[in-house]
Amino acid sequence: MSAESALALAPVIIFAPLLSFIVLMTAGRWPAHLRERAHCFAIPGIVVSLGASLYAFAAVALGGAHAAVERSFAWVPTGDFVLRMGFRLDGLAAIMLLVVTIVATGVQFYSIGYMHGDPRYWRFFAYLSLFSCAMLGLVLANNLLQLYIFWELVGLCSYLLIGFWFERPEAMRAAKKAFLVTRLGDIGFLLGLLILFRHAGTFEYAQLFQRLPEIAAATPMVLTAAALLLFCGAIGKSAQFPLHVWLPDAMEGPTPVSALIHAATMVAAGVYLVGRMYPLFQAATEPWAPSVLGMTLFQATPLQFVAAIGAITAVLGATIGVLQSDIKRVLAFSTISQLGYMMIGLGVGGFFAGLFHLVTHAFFKALLFLGAGSVIHGTGTQDLFEMGGLRKKMPQTFWTFLIGSLSLAGFPLLFSGFWSKEEILLGAFHVSTPIFVAGILGAVLTAFYMTRLVVLAFFGEPRNPEIHAHESPLNMCLPLWVLAVLSIGWWKFVMLPLHHLIDPGHFSAEVEHAGIVQILGIGAGLLGILAGYLVYYRQSPAPRRALIALPLVGERLVPGATGWLGRAPGVYTLVKNKYFLDELYASVVIAPLFVVSRWAHRFDVKVVDHFVNAVGHVTLLTAILQGKFDKQVVDGAVNGAGWTAGQVGQGFRRLQTGLVQGYALIVFVGLVAATGLYLYFGFR
């Protein structure tokens, strides 16, 4: 078993789901009983990819080789430059392959029960297969251009899946919003890619990384600009502030889509991009210093900027998640917050920490979304305030959801989320106090809103007597238990041996003050759980008033509150409305674009169309005149010449009588005429 032999399976990993997609896209002509079994054609493709990914992971982990293995071939030869494409396998790619295929396989099995009876059942599995293919191709790419191609394919697939129920206006609006907002970030990605190619002369990672010191010595600001532009792509895909607004609306898609997008594919792509291009971010040490009217606003290296954006996103998502009543939207804002944590890990130099949290988050967040789907399937509602008492009616969903919630909340020692968050907090502790404080605050709020979610959904008495909850079928519960096992803290001991494979030569967290950070991390998680328990389970007014500063809400959470709390409904309104960021986009971005679009439309109709129509009329008139000239003059001249020739011919034909005396007369007349002409001209 070697990494080279595993690399030979790269085409199989990518093209097995693609083959499933191609087969399923012909299913529209299949008999109905075959379309209802479309999963039989989709699941084998992702299972093959899973098997090959397990082999690749084992080959890299057991081989212990730090160096990446690559295989490439000529794609587009253009003169002296040959554009190549190929595959790259290293520790980072191996762990990402495993995460993507495990989650994608679980989602497809889960979808058998969840999507049963949907009229486009076969098409759903086709889109899932194409989505998996795109993400796996992105992970295995050995150059930036190839990564960008699969990156855009992931965006296309997200549009198709989020808008799968396109009959619903909300779903179509969400799909368009996700597609357009992420395109804003992708513009930066493309520009950064082109800048790097302009100065390095290659798209391939290995050659590009080798030339970074040379570029840094000559033009250090180029690397800073390229890193920031590439990070723009990550901001869009990974839903970082300020391009996070698309992710909550993506909940309009089917729940398995939410699990796949939010756990291991689309949103993870941005984190993977920063991780893959980490040598670039390390080499870009020249600070970025934006200024307005000659005044410098701030100075930050690309990694510092990544950490700052991550900290803002982590706190922003957590505070909004506190007040959501839709179970899927709580998890959506939780995803935004946790992606912020990953960016904090990458930004403070904890390369391994950020990717460790990506792995753990993929499993427990997929578990939570699929668990939420099970709740929706069993109750028919997404409103937390219509649920209650589900732990008795849906025991398997409850226990698995509880495991995922505790992992997300960072419950100490037993769950994977605690260990990965601890790594991030440890890195932030050594680099930046404000970012560390933001991380602690985010941890408290995360534990609070997850306790709130569990209590409202599974404890107490049913709030809506019309809802008759029931447990989901086995094909939906089985993936929950698999993901629950993967959300346990044993991942700590799996990831640690892979540290040097995934993160050779990068940041290694110091053990100094590790105990303090661990105590603070444990305290943050337990404090959030305690606050949620007191506020929502015990419903004790005194503790609720004492702990109300934690979720930053006002009197609507605590009816009858007095003092400063009763005078603070504005805080509640601000957080409940997601800081009015959607409205800000609507007024600052969308409204001006609509104005520009209307003026562009008017210019098109009044100027461009009139000009085109005028050109058309002139062309038509010219054609008519040309036709008449051709018919009356050219055709007339040709026809006249023909008629004249005919008449002359007819005249000469009359002379051909066949009589000797007639010919003799012609000869005589000719001689007389010739003699006369000779005499006339000869004597002049």
> For tokens 């700052």, what's the residue?
308
Q: Is the dihedral of CA 69, 493, 346, 482 positive or negative?
A: positive
Give one DSSP letter per residue of 212-259, joined into a string: HHHHHHH-HHHHHHHHHHHHHHHHHHTT-TTS-THHHHGGGS-HHHHH
Q: What CA dihedral angle connects 269, 271, 274 and 278, to 10 degrees?
A: -120
Q: Report whether pLDDT(460) > 90.
A: no
Q: What is the mean pLDDT of residues 409-424?
A: 86
User: What does residue 245 show for φ and ψ, rounded to 5 degrees?
Assistant: -65, -20
Tell me the pLDDT band of 323, cut-offs 50, 70 and 90: confident
Handedness of CA 264, 265, 266, 271 (dihedral sign): positive
Neighbours of 585 (CB within 10 A): 16
Q: Are 262 and 365 in contact (CB under 8 A)?
A: yes
Cis peptide, bond prior to residue 592, ω within 30 of zero: no
Confidence of residue 684 (pLDDT cuts 50, 70, 90): low
Residue-level pLDDT at 512: 45
- SS3 state of residue 678: helix
pLDDT of residue 293: 60
Q: How far is CA 543 from CA 532, 534, 536, 547, 549, in A?
A: 10, 6, 11, 6, 11
Instruction: Name residue 415's beta-bridge partners.
Output: 488
pLDDT digits (tens, 9 = 90+) for 597-641: 889 989 998 899 999 999 999 999 999 998 888 888 888 888 888
In this predicted structure, which of 27-36, 258-267, 570-579, 620-629 has the lowest mean pLDDT?
A: 570-579
Give residue 297's pLDDT.
Answer: 63
Q: Please, is 251 exposed, middle or buried when counting C-beta atoms within 10 Å of its C-beta (0-12, 13-18, 19+)? A: buried
Q: Do the beta carbons of residue 372 and residue 327 sit within 8 Å?
A: yes
Pairing mode, strands 81-89 and 69-78: antiparallel
Angular region, 508: left φ>0, alpha ψ -120 to 50, beta rest: beta
73 bridge partner residues: 85
DSSP code of 385? G
Closest CA to 360 of 565, 547, 98, 135: 98
- The yes-or-no verdict on residue 569 having pLDDT over 80 is no
What does the pLDDT read at residue 464?
80
Query: Is the pLDDT assigned to residue 73 strictly greater than 50?
Result: yes
Report how many helices (DSSP H) and strands (DSSP E) the chain contains, helices first.
32, 4
562: confidence class by pLDDT, cuts 50, 70, 90: very low
Q: In three state form, how does the secondary structure of 386-430 look? A: HCCCHHHHCHHHHHHHHHHHHHHHCCCCCEHHHHHHHHHHHHHHH
Helix (H) or strand (E) holding 271: helix 266-276
Tell me 672's DSSP state.
H
Other C-beta atoms closer than 10 Å to the C-beta of 538 total 11
- Describe the chain by its helix, strand, coil percentages, rounded to 5: 75, 5, 20
CA distance 145 to 140: 12
- pLDDT for 548 beyond 70: no
d(CA 9, CA 7) in angstroms, rounded, equals 5
Model pTM? 0.83
Q: Which residue, among 494, 96, 492, has the nearest Cα to 273 in the 3D structure?
A: 96
At residue 29's C-alpha, the angle toward residues 24 and 31, to 5°, is: 95
pLDDT at 468: 82
Burial of 9 (0-12, 13-18, 19+ CB in 10 A): buried
**In the predicted model, is pLDDT for residue 404 greater than 90?**
yes
Q: What percent of the chain has pLDDT over 90?
A: 36
pLDDT at 190: 94
Radius of gyration from C-alpha coordinates of the chain: 36
Give which of 155, 102, 374 is closest to 261, Cα–Cα.
155
